[in-house]
Structure 1
Amino acid sequence: MGIIGSTIKPFKATAYQEGREFFDVTDADIANKWAIFFFYPADFTFVCPTELEDLNEHYPQLQKLGVEVFGVSTDTHFAHKAWHDTSEKIGKIKYAFLGDQLHTLSKNFGVLREESGLADRATFVIDPDGVIQIMEITSEGVGRNANELVRKIRAAQYVRNNPGQVCPAAWEEGEDTLAPSLDLVGKL
């Protein structure tokens, strides 16, 4: 897909967030910040509420890491509010939901299913420079794990803050990292 390392494209979307009036979010709003765009197929569905609730449970931890979270589907901001007001799981969510009924974000990130007008189940992590550092796309019936997402973000932040270092598989904060060099070639 060639999307890792690319810069987020300009966008404007109307958001719903508990306790706020509807508001617009643009690419300028995430400048100099870490952000997650958490795409899901549609409101009032089955796997989506479990994923969104799981992500919400990690939202305070993500905020401490300086990461803002946006749930995104091709529904409108009105549908997001209705779902929030009628679903026990969704009613708990504190992060913003972006309406993408014009498919701007879904197309920008390459996750729009043209035949249905729905977004794939996809996650993108954007760094403070607007560069896509992490992406994950799963099939319709496979839910994502927010705990693993937090681990990946910590690794991405570590690599950004420690040039010349990389995080090996299953790396956890505080564990050893690697400094790629000719000395390591063939020894791992």
Structure 2
Amino acid sequence: MGIIGSTIKPFKATAFKAGENFYDVTEKDIEGKWAVFFFYPADFTFVCPTELEDLGEHYEMLQKLGVEVFAVSTDTHFSHKAWHDTSEKIGKLKYAFLGDQMHVLSNNFGVLRDGVGLADRATFVVDPDGVIQLMEITCEGVGRNANELVRKIRAAQYVRSHPGEVCPAAWEEGSDTLAPSLDLVGKL
């Protein structure tokens, strides 16, 4: 796909967020911030509310890490509000839901299903420079794990703030990192 390391493309979407009026979000709103774009196929479905609830349970932690979260589907912001107002799981969520009925975001991130009009189940992490650092795409029936997303964001933030170091597999905050060099070639 070649999307890792690319800069987020311009977009404008209307957001719904509990306790707030509808408002527009563009790529300018995330400049200087970490952001998660959490695509899911549709409101009022089955796996989606379980994933969104799991993400919601980690939202406060993500906020402490300086990360803003945007749930995105090809539904409208009105549908997002209706789902929030009628679902116990969705009703407690505090992050923004973006309506992408014109498929701008889904196309920008390359996750719009051809001939279906729905987004794939996909997660993208964008750094403060607007560069896509992480992505995960799963099939329709496989939900994501917010614990793993948080771990990956911590690793990406660590690598950004510690040039010359990398985080090995299953790295957790506080664990040892690696400094790639010729001395390590063939020794790991």
TM-score range, shorter chain: over 0.9
2:12 aligned residue: 12
Distance in 1 of aligned mates of 2:26 and 2:125: 16
1:124 aligned residue: 124
Distance in 1 of aligned mates of 2:114 and 2:83: 24
C-alpha deviation, 1:80, in angstroms: 0.1
C-alpha deviation, 1:148, in angstroms: 0.3
C-alpha deviation, 1:115, in angstroms: 1.0
Aligned residue pairs total 188
Q: Any residues of structure 2 matched to 1:142-157 within 5 Å, and which?
A: 142-157=142-157
Q: CA RMSD in A?
A: 0.3
C-alpha deviation, 1:141, in angstroms: 0.1
Distance in 2 of aligned mates of 1:115 and 1:63: 36
Q: Matched residue of 1:119: which SS?
A: coil
Tell whether 2:30 aligns with 1:62. no
C-alpha deviation, 1:105, in angstroms: 0.1
Can you list the C-alpha shifts for 1:89-110, whole angstroms capped at 9, x where unaligned?
A: 0001000000000000000000
Question: Unaligned 5+ residue runs, structure 1?
Answer: none
Question: Unaligned 5+ residue runs, structure 2?
Answer: none
Q: Matched residue of 1:25: which SS?
A: strand
Distance in 2 of aligned mates of 1:175 and 1:26: 36
Q: Matched residue of 1:112: which SS?
A: coil
Tell whether 2:179 aligns with 1:179. yes
Q: Any residues of structure 2 matched to 1:135-174 within 5 Å, and which?
A: 135-174=135-174
Distance in 2 of aligned mates of 1:178 and 1:105: 35
C-alpha deviation, 1:130, in angstroms: 0.1
Q: Matched residue of 2:160: which SS?
A: helix
2:45 aligned residue: 45
C-alpha deviation, 1:114, in angstroms: 2.1
TM-score (norm 1): 1.00
Q: What code does the residue aligned with 1:25 have? A: V
Q: What code does the residue aligned with 1:20 have? A: E
| Aligned-residue identity in percent | 84
2:88 aligned residue: 88
